[in-house]
């Protein structure tokens, strides 16, 4: 820590007693949450505004943060969601033609307590060895006496901070989707070349912490998207007559999402095509009878290799998840809704990164653990939006054929059914 730094002192304390002194970044005060690290070198604005990071303190492994400032286009929600932010070296000045503000100004205005001028490499190594855990940042009036002692923070200071950190509930067992969902539903109409045209399909997206780029991905494909609160009931959803249902990414423990899982089982029972992203993938797994478990330190960042088992293609993907689905990699499983199998696997550690559900050989639901919408990239997984759009169009065509005068021929029904598997 440079002695001549103009920044006030700040202290990071982890629940295992590990303490690291640095300097204040953003707002001053106290913040406590699960501390995790992200390997992304770009796209920090997307990370900060991703509701999946709710109640988490994010450590950026990239050493230099803030160099491109903040713009008005890349936010994934209407606020910063991280509980705290840790960087090695804040940029002195933003340099980008798209920048409208300095990152630290936004952090300060949002009340996000941060830490800088620390060895984030050492901190990341510690988290990789010990696992994600609760941590707290203390600065300003929230920094106890002894926090600025020349020889390092006093043990009394660390003990006070440690007591505060350990009083925070752990991430396991926490249901957080209701804290980040939209308070009321809204509609995203087709955009781009499809703007002003009749929607090719209608999608009901349950907002568990949805990122703005997700409905945008469908809107530019001609889909009308109804973004609905986490508390939406099955009858409310069915009243929209959707061609497909999406469960978004979001924070918290999937094992605590009983209401969401019940809703998803209702969707599957109604035979509506389903697409799950991140938390949505975990909930599909639990709806199908699989378990979920807490990862040691999770996957976060934009450089995670995942293999699509159907094609053998390796995709470089963006992640933010601390839980994973416990499903067999070597076989499919017969469920009450059809035959389930693992579609994608993380190459670093063989974690389940995608599921698919087939009924009579036809694809009826699928999900991925990673974030295919990744605004800052990579975009290797954008084909998934095409796949689901086609699945919805196929369902729509079948419904329209059944509503037409006279019954649909068996051949037509069969052809439309098989179109849903492509």
* Residues tagged active-site: 278, 371, 373
**Using an 8 Å Cβ cutoff, are 134 and 33 in contact?**
yes
**Using an 8 Å Cβ cutoff, are 242 and 395 in contact?**
no
Beta-strand pair 362-368/352-359: antiparallel
Residues 6+ apart with CB under 8 A from 120: 37, 59, 60, 61, 63, 86, 87, 88
CA distance 382 to 191: 17
Q: What is the phi-psi region of residue 219: left when phi exceeds 0, alpha when psi lies from -120 to 50, beta otherwise? A: alpha
CA distance 230 to 10: 37
CA distance 301 to 304: 7
**Using an 8 Å Cβ cutoff, are 191 and 220 in contact?**
yes
Mark out the alpha helices in 227-306 (DSSP H runs): 234-238, 258-269, 279-287
Q: What is the phi-psi region of residue 22: left when phi exceeds 0, alpha when psi lies from -120 to 50, beta otherwise? A: beta
**Using an 8 Å Cβ cutoff, are 275 and 283 in contact?**
no
Beta-strand pair 274-277/244-247: parallel
**Using an 8 Å Cβ cutoff, are 215 and 76 in contact?**
no
**Using an 8 Å Cβ cutoff, are 404 and 417 in contact?**
no
Here the tokens at position 104 are: 């630290």
């Amino acid at each position: 820590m440079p002695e001549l730094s103009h920044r006030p002192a700040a202290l990071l304390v982890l629940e295992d007693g590990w303490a690291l002194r640095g300097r204040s970044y953003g707002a001053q005060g106290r913040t406590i949450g699960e501390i995790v690290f992200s390997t992304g070198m770009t796209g920090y604005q997307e990370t900060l505004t991703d509701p999946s990071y709710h109640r988490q303190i994010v450590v950026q492994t990239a050493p230099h943060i803030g160099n491109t400032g903040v713009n008005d286009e890349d936010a994934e929600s209407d606020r910063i969601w991280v509980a705290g932010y840790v960087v090695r070296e804040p940029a002195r000045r933003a340099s980008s033609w798209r920048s409208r503000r300095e990152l630290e100004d936004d952090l300060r205005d949002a009340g996000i307590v941060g830490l800088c001028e620390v060895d984030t490499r050492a901190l990341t190594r510690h988290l990789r060895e010990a696992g994600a855990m609760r941590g707290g940042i203390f600065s300003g009036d929230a920094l106890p006496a002894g926090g600025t002692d020349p020889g390092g923070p006093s043990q009394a200071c660390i003990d006070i901070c440690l007591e505060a950190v350990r009083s925070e509930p752990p991430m396991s067992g926490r249901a957080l989707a209701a804290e980040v969902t939209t308070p009321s539903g809204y509609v995203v109409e087709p955009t781009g070349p499809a703007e002003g045209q009749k929607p090719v399909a209608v999608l009901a997206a349950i907002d568990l912490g949805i990122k703005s780029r997700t409905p945008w991905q469908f809107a530019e494909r001609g889909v009308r998207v109804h973004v609905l609160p986490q508390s939406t009931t099955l009858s409310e959803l069915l009243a929209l007559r959707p061609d497909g249902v999406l469960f978004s990414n979001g924070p918290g423990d999937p094992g605590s999402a009983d209401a969401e899982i019940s809703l998803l089982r209702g969707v599957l029972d109604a035979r509506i095509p389903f697409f799950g992203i991140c938390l949505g993938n975990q909930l599909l797994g639990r709806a199908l009878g699989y378990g979920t478990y807490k990862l040691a330190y999770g996957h976060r960042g934009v450089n995670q290799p995942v293999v699509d088992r159907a094609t053998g293609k390796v995709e470089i993907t963006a992640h933010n998840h601390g839980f994973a689905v416990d499903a067999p990699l070597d076989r499919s499983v017969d469920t009450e809704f059809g035959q389930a199998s693992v579609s994608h696997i993380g190459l670093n550690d063989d974690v389940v990164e995608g599921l698919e559900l087939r009924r009579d050989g036809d694809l009826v639901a699928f999900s991925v653990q990673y974030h295919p919408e990744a605004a800052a990239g990579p975009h290797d997984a954008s084909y998934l939006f095409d796949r689901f759009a086609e699945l919805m169009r196929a369902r729509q065509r079948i419904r329209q054929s059944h509503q037409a005068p006279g019954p649909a021929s068996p051949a037509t029904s069969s052809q439309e059914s098989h179109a849903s598997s492509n």
